């Protein structure tokens, strides 16, 4: 598939994806979802990849869904558009390696929902965050009402969802919406550094810990704990054994 919106490049074993519609502040449209679905099913499944970074071109990460495309939709079409976006973002959980949002600017509406679907988030100090859908008489459509409370708690989530107010990067860090804030010019360098740290770890362990954490979050503690034990055992006689031997022998593991 020839991408027109997504630009991607390898940085070692890290795959960096840039959403490139700066003239519309990278607003999400049907073409974006088509390309992202293809990216998830193909490029992101490369076994040589150890992390995926998603960022935006220009002054926005993603400033929301494309209102010009949505405005004339019927109720049935709007529901289908919501489900389409939810399905695409749900696909991030199927990417075996960590997916990191490098939030370079505005992450609003569907853009924040995209960031929420990633495994974790690093932000520029100039980034701004919000779910302003109520200002348009709407609610989030790409699972923002579900992921946001799970991530930051119901009180902070409902504050954001009902007021539509933007948060600074500092406030986003304070409430756990992002995991780290950097100076704007250092954002990509820092996220690549984090991806590089992940690349040095046991690759099967990184993939399994993402799978177990995400799956376990959707089931009971007992079920999740059982899944953890099974997965823990899988690594013995494989990379886990090599990692422990390397530790005892004071050498670098040979993954």
For residues 110 and 114, give the distance between their C-alpha atoms in angstroms, rounded to a whole number.
6
> How many distinct structural domains can be found in the chain?
2
Q: Tell me what the mean pLDDT of segment 24-43 comes to.
A: 97
The CA-atom distances, in angstroms, between 186 and each of 125, 189, 222 are 10, 5, 42
| Claim to verify: residue 11 and residue 124 sit in the same structural domain | yes
| Claim to verify: residue 99 and residue 207 sit in the same structural domain | no
| Claim to verify: residue 20 and residue 64 sit in the same structural domain | yes
| Claim to verify: residue 124 and residue 176 sit in the same structural domain | yes
| Claim to verify: residue 61 and residue 180 sit in the same structural domain | yes
- According to the model, what pLDDT value does residue 15 have? 98
For residues 226 and 220, give the distance between their C-alpha atoms in angstroms, rounded to a whole number.
10
> Is 1 inside a domain boundary?
no
| Claim to verify: residue 52 and residue 175 sit in the same structural domain | yes
pTM for this entry: 0.95
| Claim to verify: residue 229 and residue 161 sit in the same structural domain | no
* pLDDT reading at 110 higher than 90: yes
**pLDDT of 186-217, one tens digit each?**
999 999 999 999 999 999 999 999 999 999 99
C-beta of residue 116 within 8 angstroms of C-beta of residue 175:
no
Q: Is 133 a catalytic residue?
A: yes
C-beta of residue 170 within 8 angstroms of C-beta of residue 181:
yes
177 pLDDT tier (thresholds 50, 70, 90): very high
| Claim to verify: residue 47 and residue 106 sit in the same structural domain | yes
Look at residue 225 and give its three-state secondary structure: helix
Q: What share of the chain has pLDDT > 90, as a percent?
A: 97
- According to the model, what pLDDT value does residue 158 have? 98
| CATH number for position 181 | 3.90.226.10
CB 233: neighbour CB atoms within 10 A?
Answer: 10
> Is 165 inside a domain boundary?
yes
| Claim to verify: residue 168 and residue 57 sit in the same structural domain | yes
C-beta of residue 121 within 8 angstroms of C-beta of residue 99:
no
Q: Tell me what the mean pLDDT of segment 145-171 comes to.
A: 98
> Is 80 inside a domain boundary?
yes
* pLDDT reading at 78 higher than 90: yes
- According to the model, what pLDDT value does residue 169 have? 98
Q: Is 228 a catalytic residue?
A: no
* pLDDT reading at 243 higher than 90: yes
Strands 167-168 and 128-130: antiparallel
Mean pLDDT, the chain, as a whole number? 97
Catalytic one among 76, 113, 165, 185?
A: 113
Catalytic one among 35, 77, 133, 249?
A: 133
- According to the model, what pLDDT value does residue 1 have? 87
Q: Tell me what the mean pLDDT of segment 81-90 comes to.
A: 97
40 pLDDT tier (thresholds 50, 70, 90): very high
The CA-atom distances, in angstroms, between 184 and each of 8, 102, 175 are 20, 11, 20
Q: Domain limits at 20?
A: 6-199
Q: Tell me what the mean pLDDT of segment 228-246 comes to.
A: 94
- Unique residue bearing structure tokens 């010009």: 68
> Is 241 inside a domain boundary?
yes
Residue 118, Cβ density class (10 Å: 0-12 exposed, 13-18 middle, ≥19 buried) = buried
Query: Last residue of some domain: 184, 199, 214?
Result: 199
Q: Tell me what the mean pLDDT of segment 27-33 comes to.
A: 96
């Amino acid at each position: 598939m020839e991408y027109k919106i997504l630009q991607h490049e390898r940085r070692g074993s890290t795959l960096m994806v840039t959403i490139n519609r700066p003239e519309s502040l990278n607003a999400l449209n049907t073409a974006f979802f088509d390309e992202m679905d293809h990216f998830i099913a193909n490029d992101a499944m490369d076994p040589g990849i150890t992390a995926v970074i998603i960022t935006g071109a220009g002054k926005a990460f993603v400033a929301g869904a494309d209102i010009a495309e949505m405005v004339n939709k019927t109720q049935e079409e709007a529901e289908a558009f919501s489900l389409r976006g939810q399905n695409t973002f749900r696909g991030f959980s199927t990417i075996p390696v960590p997916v990191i949002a490098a939030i370079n600017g505005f992450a609003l509406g569907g853009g924040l929902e995209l960031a929420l679907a990633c495994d974790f988030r690093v932000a520029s100090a100039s980034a701004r965050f919000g779910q302003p859908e109520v200002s348009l008489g709407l609610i989030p459509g790409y699972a923002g009402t579900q992921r946001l409370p799970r991530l930051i708690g119901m009180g902070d989530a409902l504050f954001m969802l009902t007021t539509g107010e933007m948060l600074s990067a500092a406030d986003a860090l304070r409430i756990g919406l992002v995991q780290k804030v950097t100076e704007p010019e250092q954002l990509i360098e820092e996220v690549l550094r984090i991806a590089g740290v992940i690349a040095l770890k046991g690759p099967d362990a990184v993939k399994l810990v993402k799978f177990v954490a995400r799956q376990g979050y959707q089931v009971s503690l007992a079920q999740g704990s059982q899944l953890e034990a099974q997965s823990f055992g899988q690594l013995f006689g494989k990379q886990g054994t090599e990692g422990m031997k390397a530790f005892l022998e004071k050498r670098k593991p040979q993954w």
